[in-house]
Amino acid sequence: MSFLPHDQLKDFLERKVEKFNRPHFIEQDPISIPHLFSKKQDIEIMAFWASILAWGQRKTIIAKCKELVNYMQGSPHDFVLHHQEKDLVPFLNFRHRTFNDMDALYFLSFFQHFYQHHDSLEEAFLVPGISGHLNVESAIAQFNNVFFSLEDVPHRTRKHIASPLNKSACKRINMFLRWMVRNDKKGVDFGIWKTIKPSQLVCPCDVHVDRVARRYGLISRPKTDWETAVELTENLKVFDNEDPVKYDFALFGIGVEEKLLT
């Protein structure tokens, strides 16, 4: 374990943010998928799908997401609104790790129902008084309820959408929210949602981030769960209270670099 003095650790992490929070980061990361689009709803749909499928090798994740884009004829929002039953046939062959065709078809059902009644997926996260909340815990819990509000939800699909109410660290949803909310004009995160503030985001706590954060004394909890992600975020707020999750770039980037060297 390596503890640096506060000022040294802040400076070190700032340099790493500057190194990794650049457009060159996009190409080999799942965030490259929503960057294929300019329409807000297309970005939302594919950012959500890319974040949920983000486990395993990044090259495979990107390939699988491009497969979904092809199935949706290159226009995700138009497809979810107007597809016919025959257009769903290709999805019957879709697999990524434990995510299968049944899950994909439910995602499409949700997207269709939601976008028939709402302009933006952001609306599914907006709990009353969200602007005064410490973080996005209640917003993510509400989204889970909204996402599974349709009839005949496949039980197996529930495991793909985490909730803090189940103590999950909610890595994928937190990553998706980072993409949608942060707006630092660096060219990586989109910043197309305006109600949730960057200061309310919770750091995505994947294996790289978890390992590096523990080394620098930013996590003390022995297990990795929602409270751990909040603990990490609160410690990062000491360095930047308004945008703590920018340090996700640093922690993740350090972790990936180290893995490549082993």
Whether residue 253 contacts residue 16, with contact meaning beta carbons closer than 8 Å, is answered with yes
The predicted pLDDT at position 261 comes to 60
Q: Is residue 262's pLDDT more than 80?
A: no
Tokens found for residue 164 = 């803090």
Q: 75 by DSSP, 3-state: which? A: coil
Distance in angstroms (rounded) separating the CA atoms of residues 165 and 255: 28
Whether residue 250 contacts residue 262, with contact meaning beta carbons closer than 8 Å, is answered with no
The predicted pLDDT at position 259 comes to 66
**Alpha helical stretches, state H, 151-190:** 171-181
CA end-to-end distance (rounded Å), the chain: 18
Helix axes 6-20, 247-261, angle to 10 degrees: 80
Tokens found for residue 216 = 């620098």
What does the pLDDT look like over 6-34, one tens digit per residue? Answer: 889 999 999 999 999 999 989 999 999 99
Write the DSSP assignment of 213-260 as a string of letters. HHHTTS---SS-SHHHHHHHHHHHHTT-SS-GGGHHHHHHHHHHHHHH
pLDDT, average across residues 138-159: 97
Distance in angstroms (rounded) separating the CA atoms of residues 172 and 50: 9
Tokens found for residue 208 = 């790289």
What does the pLDDT look like over 198-231, one tens digit per residue? Answer: 999 999 999 999 999 999 999 999 999 999 999 9
Q: 105 by DSSP, 3-state: which? A: helix
- By C-alpha distance, which of 253, 152, 142 is closest to 208? 253
Q: Is residue 59's pLDDT more than 80?
A: yes
What does the pLDDT look like over 110-146, one tens digit per residue? Answer: 999 999 999 999 999 999 999 999 999 999 999 999 9
Main-chain dihedrals φ then ψ at residue 199, nearest 5 degrees: -70, -15
